[in-house]
Amino acid sequence: GKRRQEMIKILHRLQWFLALAFLQVLVLNKIHIAGYATPFLYIYFILKYNSRVSRNTLMLWAFGLGLTVDMFGDTPGMNAAAATFLAFARGRTLRLATLRDMDEGFRPGIRSMGFSSFFRYTLFACILFCTFLLLIDTFSFFNVPVLCLKIGASTVATMLCVVCTEWMGRKKG
């Protein structure tokens, strides 16, 4: 009964984990729109996790996902750090976007939050993640306009991927 449901949930989560990690490494990491924008769809995994889950659990999953992307993407620890940071900040980001109490526990998405709240949540999360990741990647403020352009372009590319993925899932389910 309940134990079986938990196992199915974990297996489903692992499928998403692996699918998003490999999509990121094999396809999305090779996309550099105009030399500036790279979509980071794998953060969808972190964004969609149930709101009631403990921060530590989410941070462990995020670290594992980021580390997987790093191992196959030749980015030593950068994605692990940025994904863990996003998981750490997700609760506040979610509260800021929804202005509601997280005690009730829900799975963030268009269906549970409405489009505008989900859009705000995704926007805040993408800005945080892309800023953190690209600051680590650049490790310099030598060319601030280019850094800002990369952060902005990657945020937009990631937002588009996340919102489209969510919209497709909403239509399907």
Q: Long-range pairs for 2-11 at CB < 8 Å and ≥24 separation? A: none
- Cα of 146 vs its chain's centroid, Å: 23
* Lowest-pLDDT range of 40-49, 97-106, 110-119: 97-106
pLDDT of residue 73: 86
Q: What is the pLDDT of residues 16-55, one digit of tens each?
A: 999 999 999 999 999 889 889 999 999 999 999 998 899 9
* Lowest-pLDDT range of 61-65, 127-131, 167-171: 167-171
pLDDT of residue 173: 47
Tokens linked to 73: 């993407």
Which residues are 37's β-sheet partners? 33
Distance CA 80, CA 85 (A): 8
Task: Kindly state the helix (H) or strand (E) to which residue 131 belongs, with its residue range.
Answer: helix 115-138
**Residue 37 main-chain phi, psi, to 5 deg:** -100, 125
- Cα of 38 vs its chain's centroid, Å: 13
- Of the candidates 110, 120, 118, 154, the one whose C-alpha atom is nearest the C-alpha of residue 134 is 154
Q: What percent of the chain has pLDDT over 90?
A: 73
Q: Residue 103 pLDDT > 70, yes or no?
A: no
Distance CA 114, CA 129 (A): 22
Q: What is the pLDDT of residues 127-163, one digit of tens each?
A: 999 999 999 988 866 788 999 999 999 999 999 999 9
Please give the mean pLDDT across all residues of the chain. Answer: 91
Q: Residue 82 pLDDT > 60, yes or no?
A: yes
